[in-house]
Amino acid sequence: MNAPHELGSVLAPRWRDAGFMLAMGPAFHTRLPAQPLPDVHWVARSWALAGELELAEWLHYDSALAMLAGNVTSTQGTALASVYSGHQFGVWAGQLGDGRALLLGEIDSPLGAQEIQIKGSGLTPYSRMGDGRAVLRSSIREFLCSEAMHHLGIPTTRALAVIGSPAPVRRETVETAAVVTRVAPSFLRFGHFEHFAHTASDGEALRRLSDAVIDRFFPECRDAQLPVLAWLEAVARRTARLVADWQAVGFCHGVMNTDNMSILGLTIDYGPFGFLDAFDPAHVCNHSDHQGRYAFANQPSVAFWNLHALAQALMPLIGDDVEALRAALEPYKDEFSRAIQQRLRAKLGLRAEQDGDAQLIDDLLKQMSSAGADYTITMRRLCAFDSASTALNAPVRDLFIDRPAFDAWADRYRARLAQEPGDDAERGLRMKRVNPKYILRNHLAEDAIRAARDGDFTATQRLLQVLEHPFDEQPEHEAYAGFPPDWARRLEISCSS
């Protein structure tokens, strides 16, 4: 379908050219066009997000396909790539930046102002040794997981569309190119602040960036005695809650470098990621993470480490007061502990906090780890736990190797449930609202990718529709909720994924 002009009548009145980052000035970005791709086509679109942005009509236009592929620019100007730095795997990596992403602009929407970014749009000054492209495989994975996380209730950047092209891209093998459209209030990272702390001697750029972020995204911190410290504490608390959300659903980020940490507390940069199948705290989802730095159990401590790197970058703004910075970060510990216990209690249907709850939860997780019990399926089956003293609860009990140990735990759980108001049915409904039935398992993503490589994009769109309702029964899609097949264990996810 054609549109009257590039932006279309639906988009043009609400569009701003690159928004916040453009206003920061040329030290913060480079303006340049995307590199066009041949024979572009739609792979998948998130009609749910399009509706929330009031872009569903526009997303049918040929001009939307061209613009989101990077083949045309907006009518108001050129896109931009932002510069940042960061620590990668705990080591200072120096200048990084948007090596394969371009910020097209900003749109006013019912969700508030949202930045529109395309990933895989070609070389930028920050591409280093890369080619600036993304492949179909990684783009489908990011698209699906961005939307899956949102519908799980976890703060995240969103994904509007994936566009494919037959253009060849070399990774481990030759693959085809793709571009994913990402949407967020801002793509600012811890690494933006690290960059200007390390490269600007006068601190002016760092101060300008901090002031602008506080004014736009954290206005509640402006009236504090030291707004920077109040803002740092707010970032620490958001980050703690985010990581608690990850842990509660068994999500592994895979590459929690400081340049992949959102200043807004969003999940950002879906490269190597995965959801736990068997519950294994030591699970490493990134095949390139040889030391296991970003193992599932390490995520809370790594996030705290990254916050310290951010705090160090902010030192010039508060006169190198190390103790004040440490004090601003300290709430992270209690915030994470409170948040994860709250989420895990809810997963077990416990509303009131009592002494012994943490031990009850921990003992269950230890048994799951010992048995290799599937995390999502175990938690979902617990929703149907029968608290009667004679109930065997075979569907969940059969997931454990040591049945007597599970029975002993179940007796403790049954006694704890007796202290809760409500009956099993009411509790089960509550638990189903926080224990998803459907998650983006690696093998489900792989099936969609393989179909897409063969030109069948319906599998990606169908999987997205399932993931948009992760807590619903969806009996017609029961196969998506099953145990992973044996071949899924051989799937390897690396930074090129």
SS3 of 220-241? HHCCCCCHHHHHHHHHHHHHHH
Catalytic residue among 245, 259, 269, 289: 259
Distance separating alpha carbons of residues 100 and 32, to the nearest angstrom: 12
Distance separating alpha carbons of residues 13 and 17, to the nearest angstrom: 12
User: Residues 157, 183: contact at Cβ < 8 Å?
Assistant: yes
Can you tell me whether residue 123 is helix, strand or coil? coil
User: Residues 21, 103: contact at Cβ < 8 Å?
Assistant: yes
- The DSSP line for 384-404 is T---STT---HHHHTT-S-HH
Q: Is the dihedral of CA 62, 68, 72, 77 positive or negative?
A: positive
User: Residues 412, 361: contact at Cβ < 8 Å?
Assistant: no
Can you tell me whether residue 5 is helix, strand or coil? coil
CB atoms within 10 A of CB 110: 9
Distance separating alpha carbons of residues 314 and 321, to the nearest angstrom: 10
User: Residues 267, 154: contact at Cβ < 8 Å?
Assistant: yes
Q: Which of 89, 170, 78, 181 is nearest to 124 (CA)?
A: 78
Tokens of 137: 């495989």
Tokens of 362: 């921990």
Can you tell me whether residue 251 is helix, strand or coil? strand
**Annotated catalytic residue 321:** no
Distance separating alpha carbons of residues 497 and 485, to the nearest angstrom: 20
User: Residues 494, 290: contact at Cβ < 8 Å?
Assistant: no
User: Residues 306, 261: contact at Cβ < 8 Å?
Assistant: yes
User: Residues 137, 271: contact at Cβ < 8 Å?
Assistant: no
Tell me how far apart the 2 most distant CA atoms of the chain are, in Å.
72
Can you tell me whether residue 87 is helix, strand or coil? strand
Length of the chain measured in residues? 497
Distance separating alpha carbons of residues 103 and 80, to the nearest angstrom: 5
CB atoms within 10 A of CB 435: 24
- Residue indicated by tokens 């296991």: 292
Single-letter residue type at 483: F
User: Residues 183, 53: contact at Cβ < 8 Å?
Assistant: yes
Distance separating alpha carbons of residues 323 and 314, to the nearest angstrom: 13
**Active-site residues: which are they?**
259
